[in-house]
């Protein structure tokens, strides 16, 4: 079977995602925990990606609005978070991705970041999609865990009707019973038929939502194998949460990758991607 090709989406002043280009790596700590950690992790990931010839987008969240427990830490907040993200991009000249949860956040976030992300739980929220689209930024929309891949066509239509076709779609797994996700690799092919670049979210795909009661569980040992499988099917970007000490992370501690493991994982990714893209 010939894997459907996708159009290229331009991150202005940086690079393109899609087409026949090498995959883009989107990564960083799940939540912004401090300015220094953000700068350190971004610098390390940029250095690794530069050595391997991979375009890099730094991702971290200023607010984790969908925590399992009301007592779980959520992050540093929008004002401080955007200030930190601005410092990261000023320091390294790299594009930034972060997520929004409410429509009123989009304009402020769009003034700092290069890519606005719509969380999976909110993929069908029309007002949020429209507000993100109106910023004119690239918008990465995560397929909801309860949606079929072809359902994302209607999500894309909402964006296009707003006048923004700088769209990227992300697969992060589908609900499989209680507290579990499964990744259907054919979903990557089906979503590519819509025509926009596809991201595989390798770390959220191994999450067990609410699996620990007051927080989500997961198994990071499955991240690299699933990532390799997705690259073999054909994707345009890999998304992975990366932390210098994942077990102590504010959120997604069980599925974030160790920073010191990333070079080997991405080296394998390049090998597979080169074979598939040729």
Specify the pLDDT at position 105. 97
The CATH H-level (homologous superfamily) assignment of domain 9-277 is Aldolase class I (3.20.20.70)
Specify the pLDDT at position 69. 52
Specify the pLDDT at position 1. 54
Specify the pLDDT at position 207. 87
Q: Which positions of the chain have pLDDT values less than 50?
A: none
Summarised one tens digit per residue, pLDDT across range 211-255 is 555 556 678 899 999 999 999 999 999 999 999 999 998 888 889
In 143-236, which ranges are E strands? 167-171, 174-175, 181-182, 198-201, 207-208, 217-218
pLDDT cut 70: percent of the chain above it: 92
Specify the pLDDT at position 125. 97
Own/partner long-range contacts of 260-265 (Cβ < 8 Å, ≥24 apart): 262/27, 262/44, 262/45, 262/48, 263/48, 263/51, 263/52, 265/223, 265/224, 265/227, 265/240
Specify the pLDDT at position 66. 67
Torsion of CA 42, 45, 50, 56, to 10 degrees: -70
User: Three-class SS of residue 156?
Assistant: helix
């Amino acid at each position: 079977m010939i894997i459907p090709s996708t159009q290229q989406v331009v991150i202005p002043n940086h690079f393109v995602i899609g087409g026949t280009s090498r995959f883009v790596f989107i990564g960083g700590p799940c939540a912004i925990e401090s300015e220094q950690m953000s700068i350190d992790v971004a610098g390390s990931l940029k250095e690794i990606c530069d050595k391997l010839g991979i375009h890099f987008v730094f991702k971290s969240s200023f607010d984790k609005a969908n925590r399992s427990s009301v007592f779980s830490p959520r992050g540093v907040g929008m004002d401080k978070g955007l200030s930190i993200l601005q410092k990261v991009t000023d320091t390294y000249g790299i594009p930034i991705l972060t997520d929004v949860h409410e429509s009123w956040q989009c304009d402020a976030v769009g003034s700092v970041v290069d890519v606005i992300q719509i969380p999976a739980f909110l993929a069908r929220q029309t007002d949020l999609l429209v507000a993100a689209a109106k910023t004119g930024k690239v918008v990465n929309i995560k397929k909801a865990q309860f949606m079929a891949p072809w359902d994302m066509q209607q999500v894309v239509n909402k964006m296009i009707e707003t006048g923004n076709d700088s769209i990227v779609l992300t697969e992060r797994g589908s609900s499989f019973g209680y507290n579990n996700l499964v990744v259907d690799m054919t979903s990557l092919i089906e979503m590519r038929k819509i025509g926009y670049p596809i991201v595989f979210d390798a770390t959220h795909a191994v999450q067990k939502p609410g699996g620990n009661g007051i927080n989500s569980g997961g198994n990071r040992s499955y991240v690299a194998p699933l990532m390799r499988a997705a690259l073999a099917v054909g994707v345009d970007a890999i998304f992975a949460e990366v932390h210098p000490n994942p077990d102590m992370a504010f959120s997604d501690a069980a599925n974030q990758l160790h920073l010191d493991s990333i070079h080997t994982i991405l080296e394998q990714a390049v090998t597979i991607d080169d074979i598939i893209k040729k």
